[in-house]
Amino acid sequence: MVRSSVLGYPRIGENREWKKALEAFWSGRIEEHEFQQQMQDIRLGHLRKQQEKGVDFIPVNDFSYYDHVLDTAAMFGIVPERFSYQGGAVPLSVYYGIARGTQDAAASEMTKWFNTNYHYIVPELNGTSPLLTENKPLIAYREAKEKLGIEGKPVILGPLTFLKLSKGYNPSEIDSWLNRLLPLYVRVLQELSAEGAQWVQVDEPILVTKLDEDDLTRLKRIYETLTASAPNLNVMLQTYFESLEHYSDIVALPVQGIGLDFVHGYAGNMKALQVHGFPTGKILGAGIIDGRSIWKASLHDKKAIIDEISRYVSEDSLIIQSSCSLLHVPVTVDHEAKLGSHLKNALAFADEKLDELVLLTKAASADSDTLTSEHMDRSQQAHKAIQLSDERNRADIHQAVKGILKQPLVRSLPFSERHAIQRDTWQLPFLPTTTIGSFPQTAEVRKARLLWRKGEWSPDRYNHFIREQIGEWIREQEDIGLDVLVHGEFERTDMVEFFGEKLEGFAFTQNGWVQSYGSRCVKPPIIYGDVAFTESMTVEETRYAQSLTQRPVKGMLTGPITIMNWSFTREDLPREQIAYQLAYALRQEVEALERSGIGMIQVDEPAVREGLPLKEKDQAEYLTWAVKAFRMTTCTVQPSTQIHTHMCYCEFHDMMNSIESMDADVISIESSRSHGELIHSFESNTYPLGIGLGVYDIHSPRVPAVEEMTSMIDRALRVLDPGLFWINPDCGLKTRGAGETIASLRNMVAATKFARVHHS
């Protein structure tokens, strides 16, 4: 009999109850005992929902109080020395200190989880002595069984992936660290087995990336050890996000099940299955339902994939799964009352994907009934209706983009000549200071926006309020002493949603939230049709801000790749073409800003790297069209117009050539959260354009000292041209309070003045 399974469920709750509980606890509005009770209620509600929908294998320990990688580190007592951890179960004060920082200790690095918009906390191994502080999968297993009668499937991040994602050790030390960690994993699994657990899901997504022979040897050792130590516990070795590297070696590992992604890794995994078959006696967890898409599946097409897989795997050895955790999609479509019926009927969020899984599992069984077939037919009709809609078939947009792509996408002068013109035009001081764009979105700002959206404030009243905020922060920036100012983005809920609301081809949910990092949730727009520019989007606020000051004010746009990567995109058009449509629309906005007298324009691309394919063979093609889309957006401006861009929270070391090819006059890039490690890449690779390395971490609720930022500036100027160097925070200041923002920026300006004296 075919069975169903889920790899993980969203943490945040239908109405972001999880986020609200975290922030209430952090602010001191609730005590720890109340917080823990709220967390349990949310967690059990998620399990109960999966139980009621009929999922066979329900994951436990996929729930987290912040991040699952941080959970794994905490479970093994891997806590950086600066947090004064005293042993035992890691208290919440230390746990959240690692994630968010304290006034006395910087937070651990945060970076993207593979090629998604989810961020994990990077474990720091140096100076730690791993030990099992508490068996989190066991606790979760017991809770599900005792409270709900669920025979849960505990989830744990695998040893190789955990080590590969960690920092603080030399590559030559990986086996030494494995020697320390493997006995702890053994104990976790042995205790689960003793408790009566049937299956454990061991996540090893690192297996879809490039591995060497030493890694394969480590894998064999890891899973021989784990299965021998807990022979009565079934191990599902789970992969996702792409196809396996070294398929034959991995399916031969001594585990009872292998989980493969047949969505994003469809081509490679299906080919491997067809060529090499699948081992008899093992369970195949087939990731059929896309855990990263919000569109209904074409269930007849999915059933055809299952039929092909069934040629190599018997019915009782097959589990139909989500392709990855449902963490990456919103919770349910049920609350989306404002979407058009043809669009809403085409959507499937986490809960609807559970229904699809159960339906497909029934369809794949020998006793599939007529009712199941009827449900599949209705789903297929909804899927096709959106495909044929007018919004997806605009010839004018397709022809315009095609015509632009025939033209050279280059600035009229090279950077060296533009730089000289811009230096004379702007007359900026040595080591100019600026910010990334946004200023604090206070409760007052959010309340005003809500009142306007509800119709309780007129547009005139709301616009007057926004102008007051802009004026206040222009004066504040001048008083702080910044050289290049921003208008603050008070009119924007989100750097992607704001633009999507003003472009055609986008739709917006009321409650389509997903977790980005910690309690930070985003509500990605849906690009469901062809994208088209209708009218200027940012000119009014930017021009008003510039009228208040003699200092330059940057126009602020979100770039085409980031809008695409931070939206849920249509599946009927290649992502490259979606990027070009966005670039064409944004190009018209850049030109409108320039016509209005704005001579510095920032086109942010913080998400350009997260779209990078996991397979090396596919990366060059993606970077080529990503760069082309950015240049399409910016290449028509005059040489005196200075184009800025911004990137953050990714590993940039291996794509600096592509960043340079974007030909932005100035790039600001995160380096503080990674403790300045990006600076190392410039020791052997020069960067010939303007650059600002973020000198302090804005995601941590602390005011960095002048000396701290001075040290970061000094390190950067050892490897970068001081004549091209800018000083800025590492990201926008939207989430920070006004007081800490002003104090931090004053310290940044003080550090800059010190650097000007010592580096001029």
How far apart CA 95 and CA 79 sit, in angstroms, is 8
**Annotated binding residue at 670?**
yes
Alpha carbon 385 to chain centroid, angstroms: 30
Is 740 annotated to bind ligand?
no
Distance, in Å, from the CA atom of 201 to the CA atom of 497, rounded to the nearest integer, reads 36
Among left, alpha and beta (phi > 0; psi -120 to 50; other), residue 597 is left
Burial class from Cβ neighbours inside 10 Å (0-12, 13-18, 19+) for residue 507 reads buried
Q: Whose CA is closest to 287, among 311, 275, 305? A: 305
* DSSP class of 727: B
* H-helix or E-strand spanning residue 169: none
The answer to whether the annotation marks 650 as part of a ligand binding site is no
How long is the chain?
760
Would you say 438 is a known binding-site residue?
Answer: yes
Dmax (CA) of the chain: 80
Compute the distance between CA of residue 106 and CA of residue 674 in angstroms, rounded to an integer: 10
Rounded Cα distance, 240 and 228, in Å: 25
The answer to whether 566 is annotated as binding is yes
- Tokens 């008083």 belong to residue: 479
Is 646 annotated as ligand-binding? yes
Burial of 368 (0-12, 13-18, 19+ CB in 10 A): middle
**Catalytically annotated residue among 264, 328, 383, 699:** 699
Whole-angstrom Cα distance, residue 419 to residue 725?
A: 12
Closest by alpha carbon to 222, among 273, 177, 265? 177
Tokens 């200190």 locate to 97
Asked if 689 and 730 count as a contact pair (C-beta separation under 8 A), the reply is no
C-alpha 515/C-alpha 592 separation (Å) is 34
**648 among annotated binding-site residues:** yes
Report the distance separating Cα 291 and Cα 282, nearest Å: 24
Q: Which two tokens stand for residue 152?
A: 């849960």
Question: Would the annotation count 726 as a binding residue?
Answer: no
Flag whether 112 is marked binding. yes
Q: Cα–Cα distance between 487 and 474 in angstroms, integer?
A: 7
Can 276 be counted among the known catalytic residues? no
State whether residue 586 is helix, strand or coil.
Answer: helix
Residue 436 annotated in ligand binding: yes
Residue 117 and residue 611: Cα distance in Å, rounded?
A: 9
- Report whether 15 belongs to an annotated binding site: no
631 neighbors 663 (Cβ within 8 angstroms): yes
635 is annotated as contributing to ligand binding:
no
Annotated binding-site residue? 615: no
CA distance to 570, 605, 630, 647, per residue, from 659 (Å): 27, 10, 10, 10
Task: Mark the binding-site residues for L-methionine, compressed into ranges.
Answer: 436-438, 489, 604
Task: Mark the binding-site residues for L-homocysteine, compressed into ranges.
Answer: 436-438, 489, 604
Q: List residues with catalytic annotation.
A: 699
Task: Mark the binding-site residues, compressed into ranges.
Answer: 16-19, 112, 117, 436-438, 489, 520-521, 566, 604, 610, 646, 648, 670, 731
Task: Mark the binding-site residues for 5-methyltetrahydropteroyltri-L-glutamate, compressed into ranges.
Answer: 16-19, 112, 117, 520-521, 566, 610
